[in-house]
Amino acid sequence: MAVHRGRGIAAIEYPTGMNQNGDPSQAWIKVKPDGRIDVFAGTSDIGNGSKTIQSQIVAETIGVPYDWVTYDNSNTDSSPVCTGTFASRATFVAGKAVEKAALKVREKILEIAGKELEIDPSDLEIVDGEVVAKGAPQKKIGVPDVAAAATWGHGELITGTGAQLKPYATIVDPETGRVDLPPHSAISYASCAAEVEVDDETGVVRVLHLWQCYDVGRAINPTLVEGQIEGGAVQGLGLGVLENCYPYYPSAEHRGGQFGSYLAPGAENLPQIDTIIIENPSSDGPYGAKGIGEMANNGQPPAIAAAVYDAVGVWVTELPITPEKVLRALAAKAEPRRAGKLVVFDEELSVNAVSDGGIRFEVPA
């Protein structure tokens, strides 16, 4: 009896947002008289950082400091439509909606600033909260002054709306299935490698190391992206070796009676996690971003399963990979097998064969 080490790898691809149609997000942005920015959107932040990311997109697009932006998604009466926080779409789809709204706000700020400075708006740019003449940085006006001028001088509200919706892909050739538009706007790619120890006496699988590589298009906030990936790794670890799918699997009577009986990874279970972020920009995402939220926990379970096979030579194809399943697989591998034999009889060459498992096959001539 011994502890064996093994390594395995898995590769995945994952679509960003829903395919085809029915995935809209909308946004509305207004500039207050003091130059601060209010963003109204319907995306619920469930810990994925969507409020932060979308606020960053707005600040970057308009050209103002991040802390000038207030993001309001407090209720569905005051917020525009957002389909929801799912399908890894909060940055890719909803973020594109706020980017479009922010572009319109930027255009309006430049229009008002052009009137104040008597310069064509096309010759102006917004840098860190100031509207500056290109090539003549001494000619400038602050965004707060532009907002005040719009309110008190021009009688205007600086505002902008944006919406994002994936159009339908129309089938061009019904025989081949060729379409005029791809059903998905962007595909993310990732790989995960795992190193494990397997005790062939107890069946315990211990994950020592996870290496993860994710193509995220563009990491708008690298810290949040890395947090998503590492959080997903812990979830994938639980799916791989600890967490059963309750209440229906394997059956209701196996379910624990209390919340504490449900096994999820704790600090003592965590392996070393190394993360590599690849930026392969998408032409459809805001600043090239793709989704990352859901795909972050898909690669670990198959990588762990492959590592277990590398360690002890058995495949466990049902998650989680518990000690019981490992021991059953090892016992099945160790069972003696009868050598197969082929018996040919009678003149018509009918065949009567007995397989390794004792199953009888009769194949007529």
**Structure letter (DSSP) for residue 78:** T
- Same domain? For 58 and 151 the reply is yes
**Buried residues in 260-279 as b, exposed as e (16+ CB within 10 A):** eeeeebeeeeebebebebee
Q: Are residues 137 and 38 in the same domain?
A: yes
Residue 269 inside a domain? The answer is yes
Determine the structural domain holding residue 341 and report its residue range. 335-365
Contacts for 179 with CB less than 8 Å, ≥ 6 apart = 169, 170, 171, 172
- In tens digits, the chain (365 residues) has pLDDT values of 699 999 999 999 988 888 777 789 999 999 999 999 999 999 988 888 899 999 999 999 999 999 999 999 888 888 899 988 888 899 999 999 999 999 999 999 999 999 999 999 999 999 999 999 999 999 999 999 999 999 999 999 999 999 999 887 777 788 887 887 777 778 889 999 999 999 999 999 999 999 999 999 999 999 999 999 999 999 999 999 988 765 555 566 666 666 776 778 888 889 999 999 999 999 889 999 998 888 999 999 999 999 999 999 999 999 999 999 999 999 998 877 655 544 444 444 333 443 333 334 444 44
CATH number, residue 271: 3.30.365.10
Asked whether residue 174 is assigned to any structural domain, the reply reads no
pLDDT at 79: 86
Q: Are 91 and 10 found together in one domain?
A: no
Name the one residue in this structure whose structure tokens are 């010759």: 123
| Residue 265 is assigned to a structural domain of this protein | yes
Domain co-membership, 33 together with 140: yes
Q: Which two tokens mark 93? A: 């789809």
Are 152 and 103 contained in the same domain?
Answer: yes
Q: Which of 147, 123, 130, 125 lies closest to 29 in space, CA to CA?
A: 147
Alpha helices in 150-297 (DSSP H): 222-241
259, part of any domain: yes
pTM, to two decimals:
0.84
Examine residue 189 and state whether it is found in any structural domain, yes or no.
Answer: yes
Give the chain's domain count.
3
Give the residue from 356, 320, 322 showing the smallest Cα distance to 341: 356
Instruction: Give the three-class secondary structure for 7.
Output: strand
Do 145 and 258 have their domain in common? no
DSSP assignment of 197-220 equals: EEETTT--EEEEEEEEEEE-S--S
- Bridge partners (DSSP) of residue 345 are 350
Please tell me whether residue 246 adopts helix, strand or coil conformation: coil
pLDDT of residue 337: 63
Residue whose C-alpha is closest to residue 292's, from 50, 33, 5: 50
The terminus-to-terminus CA distance of the chain in angstroms comes to 49
Q: In terms of domains, do 282 and 354 share one?
A: no
159 and 216 share one domain: no
Query: Has residue 179 been placed in a domain?
Result: no
User: In this structure, is residue 170 part of a structural domain?
Assistant: no
Do 321 and 365 share a domain, yes or no?
A: no
Are residues 142 and 231 located together in one domain of the fold? no
| Helix, coil or strand: residue 299 | coil
Where among 164, 195, 216 does a domain terminate?
Answer: 164
263/260 Cα distance (integer angstroms): 7
Within-domain flag for 177: no
Query: For residue 111, what are its two tokens?
Result: 């229009």
Comparing C-alpha atoms, which of 22, 234, 108 is closest to residue 243?
234
Taking a C-beta distance cutoff of 8 angstroms, is the pair 327, 319 a contact? no
Write the burial class of residue 145 (CB in 10 Å: 0-12 exposed, 13-18 middle, 19+ buried): middle
Q: DSSP letter at 307? A: H
What's the pLDDT at 263?
76
Domain shared by 190 and 311, yes or no: yes
Cα 55 off chain centre by:
19
Q: Are residues 220 and 352 in the same domain?
A: no
